[in-house]
Structure 1
Amino acid sequence: MTYRAHSARYDTMQYRFTGRSGLKLPVISLGLWQNFGGTRDYPSAFEILSYAFDSGITHFDLANNYGPPYGSAEELFGDVLARDFRPYRDELIVSSKAGWDMWPGPYGNFGSRKYLIASADQSLKRMGLDYFDIFYSHRFDPSTPLEETMGALAQLHRQGKTLYVGISNYPEAQTREAYRILADMGVPLLIHQPSYSMLNRWIENDRTIEALGELGVGVIAFSPLAQGILSGKYNAKSDLTGTRAAENYSLSSRSIEPRLLEATEKLAGIARARGQSMVQLALAWVLRRKEMTSALIGVRTLDQLKDNLGVLSNLTLSPEEIAAIDEATKGAQLDNYPLKR
């Protein structure tokens, strides 16, 4: 059966400009980190991806090493593009990244021109694309001159392999320098993708988010649920089977500490008073800032996606609610600057 996108797909989603650019992104974007790897079959992937697009999610975020295994998320998304999404390519924002380990040896990691250009070409091939909408340097590499890393992004831009370029997990000083270097090459820095949540506020603490607002660069927050801690599914008696904490990949079971559980219980009360789920409260909090373009979610099931989308009915937080959230989380900040991708 041929897929046809829902005719009302743009009726309920909200869109925001990405910094001072002309590009709008949905306030909820879908990332394929961890949940769309080799164990995900096509029907279940398409169920989630098509529902997302039918709900106005136009932005799908990937990276070279998303899986597991590495590359498998891009391959799966490429299958969806080829079989069902191809007629809608011009309605989609597809992003990918390079910066974390991808293949053995000295050229498969970090921020060299050699690695970034080769990785971008591989990612395009896996997804069957002629170009990315956004391509990111996935992390700052202190051992490679920033001019080289940004030069590689500029080269991809000039070659038409990406329409826009971005950075992820860059601290404030390096963010400003990346912006300057790209501007000198005539390439605007479109967007920054940092970890950010009620429990992980490093971009506030080092003033990265203020710098992005000043520079006119968009912000898309990954891990707005702090790797699932803010989903409300963890408590002192939690069965961690099948969760990220159990897999011990991006979230250690040791991170589910009493101070975090106490904070989530307080946050749950705030969410109930608003008539929202914990997930929806967490997303509304991230999106409260004027600098924020989009919140990047990751889901395993269709029900989780629907819960996330429920935030669209109430994105407004009162000053009193924000103060209550600050009080609830003041002793429960995660010391992970920034979260691993």
Structure 2
Amino acid sequence: MVYSADDKRYEMMTYRRSGKSGLKLPAISLGLWHNFGGIDKYENGRAMVRRAFDLGITHFDLANNYGPPAGSAEETFGRILRDDFRTYRDEMIISTKAGYYMWPGPYGEWGSKKSLVASLDQSLTRLGLDYVDIYYHHRPDQDTPLEETMSALDLIVRQGKALYVGLSNYSPEMTLEASRILKDLGTPCLIHQPQYSMFARGPEHGLLDVLEEEGIGSIAFSPLNKGILTDRYLNGIAPDSRAAGPSVFMNPSELTDEVLNKVAKLNEMAKERGQKLSQMALAWTLRGGKVTSALIGASKVSQIEDAVGTINNLSFTDEELARIESILA
């Protein structure tokens, strides 16, 4: 069946400006880190992308190494674009990244100009695109001068292979230095992608302040802390969860009694707010306007629908925020 997007899709989503740029991103973005690889069912991934777009999610986040195997998530998404989204490309924000290991030898990872340019050329081939909207350096490289990495991002924009550039996993100090180099080059940093959730508070220690000072947006990855900030582990480990199978991203040892006790208390609070715990966790990440977008992963359509339902209640009282802090303490 030929796909036709929901005419009301833009009525279902809130859009936020990324820093001081002209670009708005949906409050909820869809990441393809998991469940879109070559080992996964294509039709399930296709159904999730279709439903996400119908709900107003316009931003789809990839990286060269997403899969498994590495590269296959971009290939899957490229196929979905060809099958369903040819006429909607200008309504979509598509991002990818480079920095982690992709191919043998000295150029298959990190942050040299050679590596970043070659990797993006490969990504564009897999995606079937002439350009991506956002290109990230995925992780800092201590052995390559920051000026070289940033000049590579600037070059890529000037070549027309990306519209904007971003950083991921950079410290506050490196973010500040990188931002100032990029501004001098004439290609300001659009966005930073850190891990941030109720259980991962690192960005509060300087990074969010740097982003505000520099006019850079932010998109939080793992806002549900690998699925721990949901109700799925309150009654044991579900057979279809990450913790149930072999995964380098989720270990059952993380589900300690202390963690699960906090999750249970947060779950009760979410019920009082008329939300699922996952929705409250996403709303908490988006609170105060410092985070532009929350980047979710999904294995089924219903999880995307739940995430977008967060938009109905993004506000917290001071008492609620204090209660959350007391639970997390």
> 2: distance between equivalents of 1:247 and 1:224?
22
Q: Are 1:143 and 2:143 an aligned pair?
A: yes
Preserved contact between residue 30 and residue 59 of structure 1 (Cα < 8 Å): yes
5+ unaligned residues in a row in structure 1: which ranges? 331-341
Equivalent residue for 1:177?
177
Q: Are 1:69 and 2:81 an aligned pair?
A: no
Equivalent residue for 1:296?
295
Q: Are 1:255 and 2:254 an aligned pair?
A: yes
Task: Give the AA of the match of 1:163.
Answer: L
> 2: distance between equivalents of 1:40 and 1:87?
26
Task: Give the AA of the match of 1:102.
Answer: M
Equivalent residue for 2:236?
238
Preserved contact between residue 267 and residue 278 of structure 1 (Cα < 8 Å): yes
Equivalent residue for 1:114?
114
Does the residue aligned with 2:29 lie in a helix, a strand or coil?
strand
> 1: distance between equivalents of 2:288 and 2:258?
26
1:138 CA drift (Å): 0.4
1:250 CA drift (Å): 1.2
Preserved contact between residue 65 and residue 100 of structure 1 (Cα < 8 Å): yes
Task: Give the AA of the match of 2:54.
Answer: D
Does the residue aligned with 1:220 lie in a helix, a strand or coil?
strand
> 1: distance between equivalents of 2:294 and 2:242?
19
Task: Give the AA of the match of 2:224.
Answer: L
Preserved contact between residue 16 and residue 24 of structure 1 (Cα < 8 Å): yes
Equivalent residue for 1:337?
none
Q: Please, which moves more after superposition, 13-22 or 237-246?
A: 237-246
Does the residue aligned with 2:74 lie in a helix, a strand or coil?
helix
Trace 1:29-40 onto structure 2 (pairs within 5 A). Answer: 29-40=29-40
Does the residue aligned with 1:230 lie in a helix, a strand or coil?
coil
1:329 CA drift (Å): 1.0
> 1: distance between equivalents of 2:134 and 2:82?
19
Deviation track 1:186-220 (CA, whole Å, cap 9, x = no partner) reads: 11100000000000000102x10111011110000
1:306 CA drift (Å): 1.2
Does the residue aligned with 2:225 lie in a helix, a strand or coil?
coil
Trace 1:143-222 onto structure 2 (pairs within 5 A). Answer: 143-205=143-205, 207-222=206-221
Does the residue aligned with 2:163 lie in a helix, a strand or coil?
strand
Task: Give the AA of the match of 2:164.
Answer: Y
Trace 1:123-142 onto structure 2 (pairs within 5 A). Answer: 123-142=123-142
Preserved contact between residue 138 and residue 169 of structure 2 (Cα < 8 Å): yes
Does the residue aligned with 2:160 lie in a helix, a strand or coil?
coil
> 1: distance between equivalents of 2:21 and 2:154?
17
Task: Give the AA of the match of 1:243.
Answer: S
Equivalent residue for 1:336?
none
Preserved contact between residue 192 and residue 220 of structure 1 (Cα < 8 Å): yes
Equivalent residue for 2:264?
265
TM superposition score normalised by structure 2: 0.97
Deviation track 1:267-290 (CA, whole Å, cap 9, x = no partner) reads: 111101101001000000000032
Does the residue aligned with 1:10 lie in a helix, a strand or coil?
helix
Q: Please, which moves more after superposition, 242-251 or 291-300?
A: 242-251
Task: Give the AA of the match of 1:158.
Answer: R
TM superposition score normalised by structure 1: 0.94
Preserved contact between residue 19 and residue 291 of structure 1 (Cα < 8 Å): no
Equivalent residue for 1:7?
7
> 1: distance between equivalents of 2:106 and 2:254?
32
5+ unaligned residues in a row in structure 2: which ranges? none
1:303 CA drift (Å): 1.2
Which 4+ runs in 1 deviate beyond 3 A? none
Equivalent residue for 1:327?
326
Equivalent residue for 2:60?
60
1:240 CA drift (Å): 5.0
Q: Please, which moves more after superposition, 242-251 or 68-77?
A: 242-251
Q: Are 1:312 and 2:311 an aligned pair?
A: yes
1:319 CA drift (Å): 0.9
The alignment of Structure 1 onto Structure 2 pairs a total of residues equal to 328
Does the residue aligned with 1:250 lie in a helix, a strand or coil?
coil
> 2: distance between equivalents of 1:247 and 1:302?
23
Among all aligned residue pairs of Structure 1 and Structure 2, give the percentage whose two residues are the same amino acid: 53
Preserved contact between residue 221 and residue 294 of structure 1 (Cα < 8 Å): yes
Equivalent residue for 1:335?
none
Preserved contact between residue 5 and residue 54 of structure 2 (Cα < 8 Å): yes
1:83 CA drift (Å): 1.4
1:239 CA drift (Å): 2.6
1:105 CA drift (Å): 2.2
Preserved contact between residue 193 and residue 220 of structure 1 (Cα < 8 Å): yes
